[in-house]
C-alpha cells in the first residue's frame, strides 16, 4: 500500500482521500489549522467543509509538513489556487524525488497570470511527476461515492497513469488528456462563468437565459484557450463543457451560490463572505480580465462578471449591455 499525503484539509481533498483510503492506502492530512484537524480526527469526518462523508481507514493528521510528507508516495495539493505557491514552496524540500504530485486547484494566479503548473515549475517541483485533475466533480458527491468521471494530465504519461490507477474505482473513472494547458484554463475560467450563472438565477431569469449564457461562455473560454495554444477539443470535454455544466447549475457550487447572492442584491464582497469557503471565481475573474487584455481576446461575459464583482456595474445593467451587443454570426 502507498502513503498519500494531502496538503490542505478542504472539501475536495477530503473527498478524494476517502477514495484512496477505501483502497487500503495510508492517508496523511496536513493543514496549518490545528483546531480544524483536531475536529476532523475526533469526528473522523470533515464537519467544517464536507459533513456527511465519513473518514474510514488509515488516517493520520499533521501540522508539520516534514512529518506529513515523510515517505509519501503521492502528494495531493488540495488548497485554493491563490495560496498554492506558498504551500508548494513550503512543501517542496520534503517531497521524495520519486513521489507523484497532483494539484486539484482550479485557478490562475493573480498578477502573474500563471497557471498552476507554471507556478509549480517556478517553485521547483519535479514536473515529470506533476499531474493536474479536472472535470465535473463536486466534493459533496465524490465523498458519498456518486459515480464521477474526470480527466488528468501530465507531461509524463507514466505519471498520469500512476495517479489514475491510484484513484480509479468503479465509482470514480479517469480519462487521460495530454492538453494540460487547456484543462487548467477551462477549469479556471468556468469558475468565473459559474458566478455569472448564479447571478442569472438570483435575478430570477429562467432556463433559456442560463443555457444561452453557458453556451456563449464556453465559446469565450475556448477562444482564449486556443489563442494561448490549447486544443479546442479540450473545451468540449470533461474539463470544459462537463465542468461548466456542473458548476453553473448546482447549489453544490460555491461559485454559483455566491453569484446567486449577488443577483439577489447582496454586495459581492459580502456574498463571498457568506459562502464561508474560498470562491475561486471571484479571484479568477481578475486574472481572466487581465489574460483577455493581454491576449487581445474578446470575452464580454467574463468582463461583465468582473465589472459586477468590482462593483463598477450593476447586475441589471450588465445584462442589458450583453443583450444589446451588436448582432453577429454565432460561429
Alpha-carbon distance of 200 to 306, in angstroms, equals 14
190 is catalytic: yes
Q: What is the DSSP string of 85-148?
A: HHHHHHHGGGS-TT-EEEE----B-TTT--BHHHHHHHTT--GGGEEEEESS--HHHHTTT--E
CA distance 6 to 60: 10
Cα separation of the two ends of the chain? 51
On whether the CB atoms of residues 133 and 160 are closer than 8 A, the answer is: no
Distance CA 70, CA 94 (A): 7
Let me know: does 183 contact 132? Beta carbons within 8 Å: yes
Asked if residues 77 and 104 have their Cβ atoms less than 8 Å apart, the reply is yes
Segment holding 151, helix H or strand E: strand 148-154
Residue 229 gets which letter from DSSP? T
CA torsion angle for 113, 307, 241, 150 (degrees, to 10)? 50
Of 96, 129, 190, 312, the active-site residue reads 190
- How many CB atoms neighbour CB 266 within 10 A? 16
Q: Which residues are catalytic?
A: 190
Amino acid at each position: 500500500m502507498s502513503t498519500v499525503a494531502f496538503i490542505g484539509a478542504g472539501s475536495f481533498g477530503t473527498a478524494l482521500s476517502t477514495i484512496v483510503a477505501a483502497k487500503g492506502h495510508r492517508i496523511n492530512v496536513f493543514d496549518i489549522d490545528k483546531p480544524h484537524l483536531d475536529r476532523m480526527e475526533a469526528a473522523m469526518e470533515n464537519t467544517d467543509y464536507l459533513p456527511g462523508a465519513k473518514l474510514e481507514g488509515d488516517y493520520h493528521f499533521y501540522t508539520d509538513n516534514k512529518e506529513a510528507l515523510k515517505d509519501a508516495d503521492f502528494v495531493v495539493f488540495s488548497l485554493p489556487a491563490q495560496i498554492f505557491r506558498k504551500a508548494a514552496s513550503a512543501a517542496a524540500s520534503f517531497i521524495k524525488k520519486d513521489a507523484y504530485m497532483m494539484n486539484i486547484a482550479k485557478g490562475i494566479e493573480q498578477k502573474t497570470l500563471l497557471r498552476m503548473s507554471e507556478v509549480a515549475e517556478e517553485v521547483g517541483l519535479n514536473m515529470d511527476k506533476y499531474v493536474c485533475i479536472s472535470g465535473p466533480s463536486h466534493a459533496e458527491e465524490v465523498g458519498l461515492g456518486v459515480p464521477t468521471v474526470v480527466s488528468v494530465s501530465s507531461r509524463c504519461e507514466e505519471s498520469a497513469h500512476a495517479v489514475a490507477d491510484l484513484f480509479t474505482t468503479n465509482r470514480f473513472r479517469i480519462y487521460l488528456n495530454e492538453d494540460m494547458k487547456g484543462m487548467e484554463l477551462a477549469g479556471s475560467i468556468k469558475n468565473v462563468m459559474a458566478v455569472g450563472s448564479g447571478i442569472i438565477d438570483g435575478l430570477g431569469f429562467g432556463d433559456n437565459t442560463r443555457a444561452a449564457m453557458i453556451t456563449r461562455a464556453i465559446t469565450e473560454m475556448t477562444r482564449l484557450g486556443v489563442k494561448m495554444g490549447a486544443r479546442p477539443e479540450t473545451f468540449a470535454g470533461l474539463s470544459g463543457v462537463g465542468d461548466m455544466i456542473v458548476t453553473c447549475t448546482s447549489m453544490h457550487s460555491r461559485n454559483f451560490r455566491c453569484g446567486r447572492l449577488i443577483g439577489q442584491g447582496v454586495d459581492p464582497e459580502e456574498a463571498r463572505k457568506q459562502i464561508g469557503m474560498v470562491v475561486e471565481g471571484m479571484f479568477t475573474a481578475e486574472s481572466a480580465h487581465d489574460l483577455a487584455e493581454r491576449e487581445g481576446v474578446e470575452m464580454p461575459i467574463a468582463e461583465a462578471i468582473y465589472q459586477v464583482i468590482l462593483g463598477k456595474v450593476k447586475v441589471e445593467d450588465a445584462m442589458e449591455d450583453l443583450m444589446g451587443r451588436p448582432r453577429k454570426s454565432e460561429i
